Amino acid sequence: MTPSELLSRPFTLPNGSVIPNRFAKSAMSETLGSIDNHPTKELITLYRAWADGGAGLSITGNVMIDRRHIGEPQNVVVEDEADLDLLKSWARAGQGGGKQIWMQLNHPGKQSPKMLNRDPVSPSAIPFKKDLRGMFATPRALTGPEIDDIIRRFAQAAAVAKKAGFDGVQIHGAHGYLVSQFLSPHHNQRTDEWGGSAANRRRFVLSVYREIRKACGREFNVGIKLNSADFQRGGFTEDESLAVIKALVAEGIDLVEISGGNYENPAMAKGAGSEEVKASTLAREAYFLEFAEKVRELTDVPLMVTGGFRTERGMAQAIDSGATDLVGLARPLVVEPDLPVRIMAGDPVTSAVKPIKTGLRMIDDMALMEVSWYTRQIGRIARGRAPKQHDRGLLSLMEVLAVMATRGVRTRLRADSRPTF
């Protein structure tokens, strides 16, 4: 079977839901919400482009569940049905040509910058490492009632997504956000039922999943994005990740997407040119394929592996090996939104994605440009323009920082103007 034939095959989830091919657009933060965090028409244009480009499944960027706690300026927040009409249009755009679209749900926890949030929260009051403390305040530990409220908010947002016509939701349990913080023994040093043992630390994600199921039913797709590890001393390990997956499989999870890292060690954002990427990983393209094979030994749960795929042959080999069911693509679909259509037409493809470097070590080590530059290209697609396929180094960084600063100030001013109760 040729790569185009293999990658064009539909995939049926255990609940009978069909994804029309093996390409999945992984979540990337679009920051295309309004300044007061409502969805916009730009998101409709963007996801129509990705559906037209052939991705069988699109997972939205992180939709926040609490307006008081956002990760970036102009995140979309879903707390109620106030934006139902725009959400319905967003869902329909992502379903063009029989595709699926899932809403990723997230709470940033401590990964909420100072310019946006004066009261960040986390399982425990553990500060960031020294070089990030200028950007992120030390969080306060969540109370029991606050934890219960956050679990309820995840379920409420999922119910709104279902009503709007989305095909499913994905719990963001990776990259150092709140769910990931609860799972990590470094970030979660609680001594109550939400912390301590590995079983207690995974209680939060299991509670979120159960409440979403209760609100949305078994026929609605519910997946999770989970770190293979967070690559941090004293943090979440591969063995613990396998245990979480096993517990979620027992509960009936529909799809597990594998990723890794957090803001303090952003493995998810570093390009294929990173010296930290092993030669064996480069040869197979996917960063987390070896961990996926360990999951396969444990369970036959549907898997999506994201990070590193660059050629149609590498993508097809990952599917053919049985290590993954869906090929997760992020940056390749930013610079070439029609990549899946071209591959399924039989074109030989090598992604145009290349590492972005500014020459400033701290910036490059944190992979800030690997996130921000691509976010700007997402904005170009959302405005109906073609994305760029190359960067301008330091000049691009200055452009990105200027936009982020302007958005942050506007968001902070708006937050300060809201009444307090």
Q: Is the pLDDT of residue 272 over 50?
A: no
The token pair that represents 6 in the structure block? 């293999």
Q: Is the pLDDT of residue 357 over 50?
A: yes
Q: Is the pLDDT of residue 226 over 50?
A: yes
Q: Strand, helix or coil at 395?
A: helix
Helices 394-417 and 368-382, packing angle to 10 deg? 80
Whole-angstrom distance, CA of residue 122 vs CA of residue 109 = 5
The token pair that represents 345 in the structure block? 């037409």
Residue 132 pLDDT grade (very low, low, confident, very high; cuts 50, 70, 90): confident
Whole-angstrom distance, CA of residue 393 vs CA of residue 355 = 11
Give the residue, 361 or 284, on which the prediction is more confident: 361
pLDDT at position 417 is: 61
Q: Strand, helix or coil at 364?
A: helix
pLDDT at position 284 is: 53
Closest of 326, 107, 103 to residue 221, by C-alpha = 103
Closest of 260, 254, 258 to residue 304, by C-alpha = 258
pLDDT digits (tens, 9 = 90+) for 337-349: 999 999 999 999 8
pLDDT digits (tens, 9 = 90+) for 74-93: 999 999 999 999 999 999 99
Give the residue, 364 or 5, on which the prediction is more confident: 5
Whole-angstrom distance, CA of residue 171 vs CA of residue 361 = 32
All structural domains of the chain: 3-417 (3.20.20.70)
| Helix, strand, coil percentages in the chain from 3-state DSSP, rounded to 5 | 40, 15, 45
Q: Is the pLDDT of residue 382 over 50?
A: yes
pLDDT at position 267 is: 52
Q: Is the pLDDT of residue 384 over 70?
A: yes
Which of the 8 DSSP states describes residue 229? -
Which ranges of 25-111 does DSSP label H, i.e. alpha helix? 41-52, 84-94
Q: Write phi, then psi, for 150 (nearest 5 degrees).
A: -65, -40
Q: Which helix (H) or strand (E) holds 401?
A: helix 394-417
The whole model's pTM is what?
A: 0.90
pLDDT digits (tens, 9 = 90+) for 96-106: 999 999 999 99
